[in-house]
Amino acid sequence: MTRQVAVTDQFFDDLDTEREILDAVDAEVVSLDVSEPEEVVERVPEVDALIVNKFPVTEPLLRELPNLSVVARYGSGYDNVDVDAATAHDVPVANVPGFCVDEAATHALTLALTCNRRVAQYDRAVRDGEWDWTANAARPRFQELTVGIVGFGGIGRRAAELFRSVGADLAVYSRSTAQDELDAFDAEKVSFEDLLARSDVISIHTALTEDTHHLFDAAAFEAMRDSAILCNTSRGDIVDQTALREALDDDEIALAGLDVLAAEPPDPEDPLLGHDDVVVTPHVAWYSETAIDDLQRGVAEAVASVFRGERPENVVNPAVYED
């Protein structure tokens, strides 16, 4: 019997890759383009698999889909999926953690260099008819800086390699990484407090959890160097944006490079967007054509694995496979 796979909120030109892979396991791919759980229940009540982007997968939804055997998310994060509820319903949740490691790490380095070299500020000034190299010249040589990395998964590790390649010293805050693992990166494991105090640049690469929500708040900014640069390519809600704006206004930190925001797209009136000391990109750190292909293949292969009775390569709730 043909299984049904519903893609709730795809953002690609087509689903040809997903259909090619899942056709091989006798599965039909349906594009829903929905935003509310009720719409899924109404349109595909017998669905066997969900592929989601930002669509919320909640306990009530899981309860209403008796045939559901897997949820696969386009991306590495999964904060829009109630993983505990999925585990309780014996539904594996799969992600694609490695699809944009190089892209996200490169973007983090790009934001840090853009801020340090004041590229955006110089660009705006030149477009406004100014030609004054001294206007934003009070920045140190990047090779003299200490870069603090928050989170040391795949992207954090690749970012460490890139920052080290341009000569920066490295400090890492990670609960799960031991110093001997960091030795290979010529990096030092530090507490969060030490990272704030020592870092000239802080690059965020940790997941959004209850513990990391607003990890960078008013107290964190107060503890940072007044010359510091904050770069976030992870999740917007890790940073308290109101506190960030106030810290920039009060010169508690110098600059911020943000690829992610709490609300996306942001309110056009958000004061961060017009702030002279902020560089914002539209959640694009993950992007390349190769990354898109890897992402689409990754979710489709995860679903196909479940349909073949196999465990997907990346499962965020492995308890569903434990006796």
Say whether 222 is catalytic: no
Say whether 63 is catalytic: no
**Of 158, 235, 245, 301, which is the active-site residue?**
235
**Of 283, 297, 311, 313, which is the active-site residue?**
283
How far is residue 139 from each of residues 24, 47, 106, 113, 173, measured CA to CA in Å? Answer: 56, 56, 21, 11, 25
Say whether 264 is catalytic: yes
Which three-class secondary structure string do you get for the chain?
CCEEEEECCCCCCCCHHHHHHHHCCCEEEEECCCCCHHHHHHHCCCCCEEEECCCCECHHHHHHCCCCCEEEECCCCCCCECHHHHHHCCCCEECCCCCCHHHHHHHHHHHHHHHHCCHHHHHHHHHCCCCCHHHHCCCCCHHHCEEEEECCCHHHHHHHHHHHHCCCEEEEECCCCCHHHHHHHCEEECCHHHHHHHCCEEEECCCCCCCCCCCECHHHHHHCCCCCEEEECCCHHHECHHHHHHHHHCCCCCEEEECCCCCCCCCCCCCCCCCCCEEECCCCCCCCHHHHHHHHHHHHHHHHHHHCCCCCCCECCHHHHCC
**Of 20, 28, 144, 264, which is the active-site residue?**
264
Which residues participate in catalysis according to the annotation?
235, 264, 283
